[in-house]
Amino acid sequence: MTRQMTGAKIVVEALIEQGVDTVFGYPGGAVLPIYDEIFQQNHIRHILVRHEQGAVHAAEGYARATGKPGVVLVTSGPGATNAVTGLVDALMDSIPIVVLTGQVPTFMIGSDAFQEADTVGITRPCTKMNWLVKDTDHLSSTIHEAFHIATKGRPGPVLIDIPKDVQFATGTYVEKSRAKVDHYTPRVKGDTAVITALVEAMEQAERPIFYTGGGVINSGPAASMMLRELVETTNFPITSTLMGLGAYPASGEKWLGMLGMHGLYEANLAMHGCDLMINIGARFDDRITGRINAFSPNSLKAHVDIDPSSINKVIHADFPIIGDVSHVLEDMLRIWKSRGSKTNSAALKKWWRQIEEWRAVKCLSYKNSTKTIKPQFALERLEALTKGMDRYITTEVGQHQMWAAQYLGFEDPNRWMTSGGLGTMGYGTPASIGVQVAHRDALVINVAGEASWLMNMQEMGTAVQYRLPVKQFILNNERLGMVRQWQELLHGERYSHSWSEALPNFVKLAEAFGCKGIMCDNPDDLDEAIKEMLAYDGPVIFDCLVEKHENCFPMIPSGKAHNEMLLGEAETQGVIDAKGSVLV
Amino acid sequence: MSPLNIEKGSSSHSAYDLRSHMSDAIETHTLAVLVQNEAGVLARVIGLFSGRGYNIESLTVAEVDHAGHRSRITIVTSGTPQVINQIKMQLERMVPVHEVHDLTVEGAMVSRELALFKVKGKGEHRVEALRIAEIFRANVVDSTLESFVFEITGTPEKIDAFADLMRPLGLLEVARTGVAAIARGA
């Protein structure tokens, strides 16, 4: 039996059939029919954000905390253009989100109508796929296809542009099971022959390392479980990208910490010195590799990725394995067991001894102070006081983000949401809201810098409206810390526009929003202040005044190799040469 | 689009893939891309090339299967082996792209281009233009007392050569379709 209904109703029906429980959005002229349908139902909860960028980041946070696609509904023109940053953010970090945008009626498209923008044109390179639906009969099948494409293969953002007359017109609803999606079926099983060859290499490896990334998280909790089993079975050391934190527990003894530009000394040196690198769901990002021609020069490299274009894009893979991480890990474990594989334990022992020497450098040690709060200290205390709690962390972008990755420990996947690829300042506050919407009773903390935080602070209104007790933990150094650090290292300490002047009084700002504000500037008071934040049943803006000129170490300077990393203040003079300074 | 600094036809036709993955040698490849014929698909493909800094030397597109909504895009592109490989991978992962064939490495191929030449001249020049057109098997598709429009089909090199010869004879305008290519055999 075919069901006839308006396009607006089709949208809501299709979302319900897709199992959507939450939509982040902002109404406007071109989506009023859909909002009218949302008003008349109780299956989908709509979260009214304060800015469309916030809607997309909230949906990203929701998606990463749940493993389900996040859904956004915004209007045409400015509604759509405001969503663009979030789309690119989700594209770079492979986050499944479905964005529905209103559009002017089909007969007005191209006439420079009020709030008209070429949304599919603007977002074509910002999405995994996008559609302009001109016929109500195609609407439901397009929505089902959109969910399929957003979540299958390498996940990513998709966008459906829906003209207002298509929302008003009546059309046929096509059920999910009857929508055509089989034209997009990415390969999930890896090549068994290559996996077997890799297992052989793992048996012989003298200095192996697992280098894992966001692909493990995206592959689902089973992938993390199998990764843990594989690490325990092989006794190989493991490091991870920023995006992959939590797939292997930070408390695990094989854990070397994060790698990359601000990664740990032991992780980067192990990457540099290994003879077998097993990349699982990471993409050899430039923050990871440093100088390409000096990247891990003496190793064979395996690369497991669901996206064939990631393989051999930057670094040549000796064992290229195209497939979904959980499928590949399953095969790897099966082959390992069926072969009765054993590792080269004598060589591994030596390798671990070497790693212990690197660990002994204690690269995260810093000079603490009794007068000012060091940002590292603040995060150490936050970690200590929230350990074992049902905790989710989001971040903004900059020094605080790197410190959070270094000093906070993640025991499980989907607990860490940060803007990795695009590096979007303003990500963290709306993302924390998205996470809290998904996990009402969990502790959700946005570790922020004051400059990033100001970029989407309007979303505190959303937090207050929906009683979302998100904690905004702002490491306030009154500087654009990472910019300042680069200017110090690269631009002769000329601090061009990298300080935050005319900052608001965050406590009063919190009160103005109707939430709680806490200020702390004394290391002795910090624990009590953090406890007060954690105890408060509602959103909190925590203004943590920290040391203003702290730099983030370790650091691999631009254009340098992993074994040329800097550990502290003494080594920073003239470290970045002219070649390195053109890099970002 | 960055300028080309390679000789035409410099790509390898070896049956074996002997090219180094890290080679810096620039190769020219002809790709046949079968896509879903839907709004925006060409923009998507072109956007990939401009967005990622790949070259397009020639591009043709037309629907080849009306019932199946399939269009065929023929792209002649150039780059290092690694870049060519990336281009293919990036094309393949696009949702509306069904098939990508690298005709340059998949065996022998036929590649043809059609061009229209408008030549204006009188007397000896006019006779010479006609004579050369005959040698090149170009057809006269329009004629006035002082001009011809020639239609010529062939490889891009042949059309280049024809253009070189017509230039001193009063060549006014050229319209070229770009390369269409197909693998030999079945």
Q: Assess contact for A96 and A468: CB atoms under 8 A.
A: no
Tell me, rounded to whole angstroms, the distance of Cα B125 from its chain centroid.
30
Q: Does residue A368 belong to the interface with chain B, where contact is any CB pair within 8 Å?
A: no
Q: What is the pLDDT of residue B2?
A: 35
Percent of all residues in chain A with a pLDDT value above 70, rounded to a whole number: 98
Q: Is the pLDDT of residue B6 over 60?
A: no
**Residue owning tokens 């002017």:** A104
Give the residue, B7 or A490, on which the prediction is more confident: A490
Q: Is the pLDDT of residue A576 over 80?
A: no
Q: Does residue B85 belong to the interface with chain A, where contact is any CB pair within 8 Å?
A: yes
Q: What is the pLDDT of residue A416?
A: 98
Closest CA to B176 of B165, B167, B157, B168: B157
Which tens digits make up the pLDDT trace of A304-322?
Answer: 999 999 999 999 999 999 9
B158 φ/ψ sector (left φ>0, alpha ψ -120 to 50, else beta): alpha
Q: What is the pLDDT of residue B140?
A: 98
Prediction pTM value: 0.93
* Identity of residue A399: Q
Which tens digits make up the pLDDT trace of A353-404?
Answer: 999 999 999 999 999 999 999 999 999 999 999 999 999 999 999 999 999 9
Q: Which residue of A has its CA nearest to B47?
A: A125
A209 to chain B, closest Cα gap in Å: 24
ipTM greater than cut 0.95: no
Q: Does residue A149 belong to the interface with chain B, where contact is any CB pair within 8 Å?
A: yes
Which tens digits make up the pLDDT trace of A222-255?
Answer: 999 999 999 999 999 999 999 999 999 999 999 9
Which tens digits make up the pLDDT trace of A67-125?
Answer: 999 999 999 999 999 999 999 999 999 999 999 999 999 999 999 999 999 999 999 99
Q: What is the pLDDT of residue B9?
A: 36
Q: Which residue is catalytic, options A92, A226, A277, A482?
A: A482
Q: Is the pLDDT of residue B178 over 90?
A: yes
Nearest to B92 among A128, A183, A308 (CB): A308
Which tens digits make up the pLDDT trace of A424-478?
Answer: 999 999 999 999 999 999 999 999 999 999 999 999 999 999 999 999 999 999 9
Which tens digits make up the pLDDT trace of A166-176?
Answer: 999 999 999 99
Q: What is the pLDDT of residue A472?
A: 98
Q: Is the pLDDT of residue B4 over 50?
A: no
The residues, ordered by sequence, that sit 6+ positions from A400 with a Cβ below 8 Å of its Cβ are A375, A447, A448, A449, A452, A475, A481
What the block records as the tokens of B39 is 């709004």
Count interface pairs A-B at CB distance under 8 A. Answer: 40
Q: What is the pLDDT of residue A531?
A: 98
What confidence tier does B23 reach under pLDDT thresholds 50, 70, 90?
A: confident
Residue of A127, A152, A313, A322 to mutate, interface with B, max B Cβ within 10 Å: A313
Which tens digits make up the pLDDT trace of A249-293?
Answer: 999 999 999 999 999 999 999 999 999 999 999 999 999 999 999
Residues B100-118, mean pLDDT to the nearest whole number: 96
Decide if A565 is catalytic.
Answer: no
How many residues appear in chain A? 584
Closest CA to A123 of A76, A183, A163: A76
Percent of all residues in chain B with a pLDDT value above 70, rounded to a whole number: 88
Residues A409-419, mean pLDDT to the nearest whole number: 98
Q: Which residue is catalytic, options A114, A180, A204, A367?
A: A114
Task: Round to whole Å and give the CA distance between A390 and A443.
Answer: 6
Q: What is the pLDDT of residue B22?
A: 64
Task: Round to whole Å and give the CA distance between A172 and A161.
Answer: 18
Q: Do A308 and B44 touch (CB under 8 A)?
A: no
Task: Round to whole Å and give the CA distance between A352 and A356.
Answer: 6
Q: What is the pLDDT of residue A182?
A: 85
Contact residues, chain B, for A128 at CB < 8 Å: 95
> For the purposes of burial, counting CB atoms within 10 Å of the CB of A440, is it exposed (0-12), middle (13-18) or buried (19 or more)?
exposed
B39 to chain A, closest Cα gap in Å: 9
Q: What is the pLDDT of residue B10?
A: 36
Q: Is the pLDDT of residue A1 over 70?
A: no
